[in-house]
Amino acid sequence: MIEVENSGDVWTVTLNRPDKANSLTEQMLVDLVATLRNARDARAVILTGRGKVFSAGADLEAARAGLATSPLWEELSEAIASLPAFTIAALNGTLAGGAFGMALACDIRIAPPSAKFFYPVMTLGFLPQPSDPGRLAALIGPSRAKLILMGAQKIDAEEALSFGLIDRIVPQENIVSQASELVAATVQAPGEIAVGIKNMCH
């Protein structure tokens, strides 16, 4: 349910469970963590999904069995955030729940006009992943982070763009090609320059 296309410098990691809105099982999280920890030599990593939803977060049955509070979510976020590569969340559609961690840990987020964004931990009775509130507040400000996390508000792509949650709205059918264009300059540059710029931005 996790597809990996490794062209050498660019790794494309795709969630492939569209019949379940790409909701994540424990095994999918394990596979994602292992994949991204193995991507240390990649110059760019693109995360995307099949279908019209990037991910609905935790698989409902797995969440009820304890996956919602698993440390695997934080391990996944850290595996992405620690990559020296230029990382892009090519959100093919709606982003929800625990899947926020993957997108927030990336350098850039792009999404189609139809995408929705919500993180309903407040209503479900869970705390968010430890690093998510800080990363979210760094992107959109503390008040807007509370609007999403504490107010349980669902926002659309235009509002997400105005908040700074996403960086560009692109047609859904072009999402991966647009991500590939965005990483092209990084892939062509000397590795130490690309990594140096990323470190300076942090």
List of domains in the chain: 2-201 (3.90.226.10)
Task: Give, in order, the Cα–Cα distances in Å from 123 to each of 45, 80, 99, 151, 155.
Answer: 33, 27, 16, 9, 16
Q: From the centroid of its chain, how far is CA 116?
A: 14
Mean pLDDT of 175-188: 96
- The string of pLDDT tens digits covering residues 11-49 is 999 999 999 999 999 999 999 999 999 999 999 999 999
Name the amino acid, one letter, at 97. G
Query: For residue 186, what pLDDT band results from cuts at 50, 70 and 90?
Result: very high
State pLDDT tens for residues 75-112: 999 999 999 999 999 999 999 999 999 999 999 999 99
pLDDT (0 to 100) of residue 123: 87
What gap in Å lies between CA 140 and CA 134, rounded to an integer? 10
66 has a pLDDT exceeding 90: no
pLDDT of the residue at 89: 98
What is the predicted pLDDT for the residue at 125?
84
Q: What is the pTM of this model?
A: 0.95
pLDDT of residue 183 exceeding 90, the answer is yes
Average pLDDT over residues 109-126: 93
Tally of CB atoms within 10 A around 90: 28
Looking at residue 64, its pLDDT comes to 79
Q: What is the largest CA-CA distance in the chain?
A: 47
Q: Say what the pLDDT of residue 180 is.
A: 96
Paired residues of 159 in beta bridges: none
Radius of gyration of the chain, Cα coordinates, nearest whole angstrom: 16
Which residue reads 């990594």 in tokens? 195
pLDDT of amino acid 87? 98
| Mean pLDDT (the chain, rounded) | 95
> Tell me, what's the pLDDT at 40?
93
